[in-house]
Each structure stands twice: as structure tokens, then as C-alpha cells.
Structure 1
Amino acid sequence: MTEQKTPPPPQIWPTLRAADARALIRFLVTAFGFEETVTYGDGDRVDHCQLSWPPGGGLMLGSVRDETDDAWALQPGTFGAYVVTDEPDKLAERARAAGAVIVKEPFDTDYGSRDFAARDPEGNLWAFGTYRGEPR
């Protein structure tokens, strides 16, 4: 096995459900800078949406569904993620201006990262920072 010198590209796709998925998509694009890659669904219902994160990776989301018909029954507002960004202070201001609730102002960690945390309108917790993980 070859030793890796840089962190691998992201290949995990977190998923979440939303009470108002279309509003959450607009918020995540405006406040945090995700890019809407594809959205399927009719009217207010979102069956599947892929939001891409510009540096790599992304997330998938959809409208909350009747739990009896849903093997992926996630409750809105129960999601949390750490997202890598090169400009956490600038992103925190963008998020605040778009209505995100900043729950932890930008700060420096003891492991060299610059982070902040925010909640979206559905109550999901988002942490953003410069920590890219350690090479394997």
C-alpha cells in the first residue's frame, strides 16, 4: 500500500430530510455557497436533491415523508456535518447575512483549524472550518 501524502477527495454524501426542502435548498445555496446540481420532485415535494460543495463532495436531501413508506426516515433538524472551507470568517459573515443562526463564532482550534458553527432554518447543525483531515 502506498502512503498517501494528501487527504483523499471526499466520497461520503451526507443525507438529510427537510420539512420545507425547497426553502432549505435555497438557504444552503445562499447562506453557505452550496451549488444545486440536480433536484427531482413535483411542486413543494423534493424526492432527491444533490447539492455540490465547490471544493468537492456535497450532500443529498429530500422532503420528509410518511415514515411507514420510508426506509430512510430521518427527522428534519437532526443532521450535523463538518464542511471544509478555506475562508471560514468570510463564510460566517455570508451565513449570518442570509439568516443563519451562528451558534459558535469563528475560533481557532488547538489542532490548527479555524472553525465556526451555525444552524439552518430546519435546525440542522453545520460546522465549517479549515481542517481537511489527516493523510492516511
Structure 2
Amino acid sequence: MNTTQSTQQSTPQTPREPAVWPTLQANDAPALIDFLVDTVGFLRTAVYEDGDRVAHAQLDWPEGGGIMLGSHKPDAEPGTWCVKPGTFGGYVVTARVDELYERLVAAGVKILREIEDQPYGSREFAITDPEGNMWSFGTYAGEPRPQGATS
């Protein structure tokens, strides 16, 4: 047995950082970043610019997880990573769903689905951002993995 395996087995485990990072592109990435940070509440962790375009941005959600985004490349070659603006949909977990809902309503954000309790135990609502992407915010953090599940 190597040292790494031994250490992992004897050390208490901490929750993993998210390994799935949703990505999107925007016609006006700086404006979308400002909206997601200043209005919604994401954290501006990294923004890398290439001239007047955002080459890469990482926005973290304060309660865990995050997204990556950049400027849309309409002239991208076929087969390259290119996501049409306004086609993204994401679910964001928050323990402060009522507070967030009230703040976004007060900011005049377009509400797609009013806040309500769901039969599966979540309290949630949905909005659209200035690019047309859809965002759902709720308390449902997913079901726990069965013990010992690795895949």
C-alpha cells in the first residue's frame, strides 16, 4: 500500500469541491458578469480578457460551486467549443432562497417562475438573465450518495 492511500484512509474526509463546472457564452460577457455578480450574488473569482473579449471567467457561488463563461465566438470553427448565448439553464442551490428572490424582484429581474414550495421538498424560483439564460434557485441540494458509491 502506498503512502497516499494510507493517508486517505486514516484522515477524516472533507466534502469535495465541485468537479462539474457549467459553462456558457455571452454576446456581452462583461455585462453578464456584472449582472451575475452585482445583482444575483456570484463572486468574481477570475476574469481573463483578450482585447475587448472575455477569454475566460470563473464565477463562484458563495454557498459552493460555480460557473465558467466567456465571450461568444460566432466565427468559431466547427467542432470547437462554442455555445450559443441565451441557451444555458442552470440550477443553483441556496439556503437563502427567499432573501435572494426578494432581492432579485426588487432589482427588476425577469421572474420566470414565482417562488413556491415543491412536492419534493425544495423551495425555488426561476429567472432569466439579460442574455436569455434561465436560472433556477432553490433549497434542494440533491440526494445523498449511497455509502460506498464511487461511480
Normalising by the residue count of structure 1, what TM-score does the alignment of the two structures yield? 0.89
Q: Provide runs of 4+ in structure 1 moved above 2 Å.
A: 7-11, 96-99
Using the TM superposition, name which of 25-34 and 117-126 deviates more: 25-34
* 1:61 matched residue in structure 2: 69
Q: CA deviation at 1:43?
A: 4.5
* Residue 25 in structure 1 maps to residue 40 in structure 2: no
Structure 1: distance between partners of 2:39 and 2:134 = 13
Structure 2: which 5+ residue stretches go unaligned?
1-14, 146-151
Structure 1: distance between partners of 2:140 and 2:117 = 11
Q: Deviations over 1:15-45 (max 9, x none)?
A: 0000000000000012211000010014531
Q: Deviations over 1:63-96 (max 9, x none)?
A: 0012227711100000000000011121112222
Structure 1: which 5+ residue stretches go unaligned?
1-6
Q: Aligned residue pairs: how many?
A: 130
Q: Which amino acid aligns with 1:51?
A: L
Q: How does 1:1-136 map to 2 (within 5 A)?
A: 9-65=17-73, 66-68=75-77, 71-136=80-145
Cα root mean square deviation, aligned: 1.7
- Structure 1 residues 109 and 8: alpha-carbon distance in aligned structure 2, compared to 1, 3 A threshold: farther
